[in-house]
Amino acid sequence: MIRTKMLNFLLFFVSLIFFSYLFYIQCFRHHYYEKRAKQQHEKKFVLLGARGNIYDRNGVPIATSEPCFSVFCTPRYARDAAALVRKISRLSGRSRKEVRQLVDKGDFFWVEMKVDITRRDSYLAINDPSIGYTHDLNRRYNMPEIFTSMIGKCGMDNRGIEGMELQFDDILSGESGFAIYQKDPAGGIFPYHNYPEQEPRPGGDIFLTVDLQLQAILHDKLNDCLEKENARLAAGLIVDPETGNILAMVNVGKNGDQRNHIICDEFEPGSTFKLLALTFALLNGAQEGDKIDTEAGKIKIRGHTINDYRNYGVVTLKQAVAHSSNVAMVKLSRKFDRERFLLFVRDFGFGELTGIEFPGEVRGRLPDAVKMNDIDFATLVFGQGLTVNMLQLAMAYQVIANDGVLQKPNIVQAVRKGAKTIYEVNPLRIRRVVDESTARSVTDILCAVVEEGSGTAAAFNDMKIAGKTGTAQKVVNGSYSTSAVIATFVGFFPAEKPDYLIMLMIDEPKSGYWASTIVAPVFKEIAQSLYQMNSHHYAAK
């Protein structure tokens, strides 16, 4: 009797444990086992949404995405590990030792990323269940050598990591979808009508203000100059003065330098900054015919001597700018109110971000008017003691070319998804900096630079060109170098109603020193090419 009761109790206890475990599995571990079952019977494929394209202003593709494949290996499913190692090594170009280590480790690994359909099929021809592939997208660039510093690039995951690819990654990135397939006992997959799926969505397309043809012209001329002068780098901009649209933006440097120096670097502008002193003087009563004694090309301030290239004698204000006299600018600035002048400089956009649609823009640095001494202010008016980025300097000249109005620089024209335009950029007026009459007086003086002064090498075809040269000594080990310079030229034409503004910079030219002989001739070559492109337009005028 006791044995029977004990046996019944034991059976009851075992049954209780058994059914409790079943209850636990079915009620509390349901999702876990459901997930494992799906992993055994279903295969989910991620379908990447195509990254949006980038086009120039005329719809010419600059960056596009094309379908490709990434091949992987799961070694534990291999039929013949030795044969697998041998075949993967042959197709991928990896050493057998490297592949053998990966296979012996037994973990999933990528065999080759972003391959075309031919190479994918070559891997599948191995006919081993350990080899598989996923759909991928490959970023292709049209003429990458002329666009790299501006467009940037994507990483292996198709996300932007530099340049405009990074700046507009949210717009360009597509939305991924998925498809779920049934797996048979042998590991094969096939579609099943009742399984969920989601179509991928492509990213938006970006249309730039940049013109491919102008970009190519600017790149070729700068690259020729870089090699000829054996310089550290060369950079240039072409801007529509009326709208502020960037028509071309090029950086070329040694050793594969792909940095956008135009926006991301700052430098002392040198004599191109004399535009500010000239304009401020005209606004405060100076006349282009006013006489200035350059005192044999030398002037002393607080024990420091400021020199001109040569003795210009007594010159008019117009001649002083044409020949880029430092002494004349210093004497002119003695009547300036320092605080008002620094505020005026800020009105032109210096010391502030331009708002260009590009990552990494620098503000530049302006001195504090209160802390400046006489020598600091004297050198400031001819471009020493402050820093600017190249785009800021170009847009300061854009103010004059646009009759005194500062525009926001734009590099994006529109964003579209399919046939729908979701964003369109219109020219944005920032503010009026100077009146129209003053802007035209400054333009007239800048024309004298090209006609009779330091910029004569920029002249061509009797075209009325306004421009200014700049040769700025670089600071090396805390003092100004006598050999390392930044040579610049800014000009716009036709001067009366400009179509183009061109800003050029050559950093550390080795075969020359002065912007008048280094950069001005490059401006001429570029301007001539633009003139020839639009010869019918200028002939009609």
In a domain, residue 32? The reply is no
> What pLDDT sits at residue 42?
58
- Together in a domain, 326 and 421: yes
Please check whether residues 227 and 112 belong to one and the same domain.
Answer: no
Q: Are residues 230 and 165 in the same domain?
A: no
What CATH number should be reported for the domain holding residue 75?
Answer: 3.90.1310.10
In this prediction, residue 159 carries a pLDDT of: 87
Say if residue 145 is in the same domain as residue 223: no
Instruction: At 285, list the tokens.
Output: 């009563």
| pTM, full prediction | 0.84
- Say if residue 520 is in the same domain as residue 440: yes
217 in any annotated domain:
yes
Assess if residue 525 is contained within a domain: yes
State both tokens at 51: 């990254």
CB atoms within 10 A of CB 301: 16
Domain that holds residue 385: 212-540
Looking at the domain assignment, is residue 189 inside a domain?
no
Return the bridge partners of 267, or none: 388
Q: Is 377 helix (H, G, I), strand (E, B) or coil?
A: helix
pLDDT tens digits, the chain, 541 residues: what are they? 677 777 777 777 777 777 676 666 667 666 665 555 555 555 555 666 789 999 999 999 999 988 899 899 988 888 899 999 999 999 999 999 999 999 998 888 999 998 999 999 999 999 888 898 887 888 999 999 999 899 999 987 888 899 999 999 999 988 777 666 555 555 544 455 565 666 678 889 999 999 999 999 999 999 999 999 999 999 999 999 999 999 999 999 988 788 999 999 999 999 999 999 999 999 999 999 999 999 888 999 988 899 988 899 999 999 999 999 999 999 999 999 999 999 999 999 999 999 998 999 999 999 998 899 999 999 999 999 999 999 999 999 999 999 999 999 999 999 998 888 988 989 999 999 999 999 999 999 999 999 999 999 999 988 999 999 999 988 887 788 878 999 999 999 999 999 999 999 999 998 888 999 999 999 999 999 999 988 666 665 5
Which of the listed residues 161, 185, 208 is the one where a domain comes to its end? 208
Helices (H) and strands (E) in the chain, counts: 20, 22
Q: Which of 157, 182, 208 is the last residue of a domain?
A: 208
Query: How, if at all, do strands 205-208 and 412-417 pair?
Result: antiparallel
| Residue whose structure tokens are 């072409």 | 238
In this structure, is residue 194 part of a structural domain? Answer: no
Residues 405 and 285 in one domain: yes
- The SS3 of residue 151 is helix
One domain, residues 116 and 216: no
Whether residues 160 and 216 fall in one domain: no
Whether 405 is covered by a domain: the verdict is yes
Kindly tell me the sign of the dihedral angle through the C-alpha atoms of 90, 92, 95, 98.
negative
The predicted structure's pLDDT at residue 108:
84
Domain tally, the chain: 2
Could you tell me if 308 and 411 lie in one domain?
Answer: yes
Residues 406 and 260 in one domain: yes
- Position 190 scores a pLDDT of 45
Are the CB atoms for 130 and 108 separated by under 8 Å?
Answer: no
Residue 123 lies in a domain: yes
pLDDT in the model for residue 400: 98
Beta bridge partners of 179: 45, 197
Check whether residue 161 and residue 234 sit in a common domain: no
Q: Across-strand partners of 477?
A: none
Tokens of 59: 């719809």
CA 296 to chain centre: 46
User: What pLDDT score does 395 carry?
Assistant: 98
* CA–CA distance, 481 with 477 (Å, rounded to integer): 9
- CATH number of the domain within which 398 lies: 3.40.710.10
Specify if 70 maps to a domain. Answer: yes
- For CA atoms 277, 281, 287, 289, give the dihedral sign: negative
Q: Give the residue from 156, 236, 294, 128 showing the smallest Cα distance to 490.
A: 236
Domain end call among 208, 226, 257: 208
Are residues 430 and 534 located together in one domain of the fold?
A: yes
How does strand 109-115 pair with strand 61-73?
Answer: antiparallel
**Of 316, 326, 274, nearest in space to 490 by CA:** 274
Q: How far apart are CA 220 and CA 526, in angstroms?
A: 9
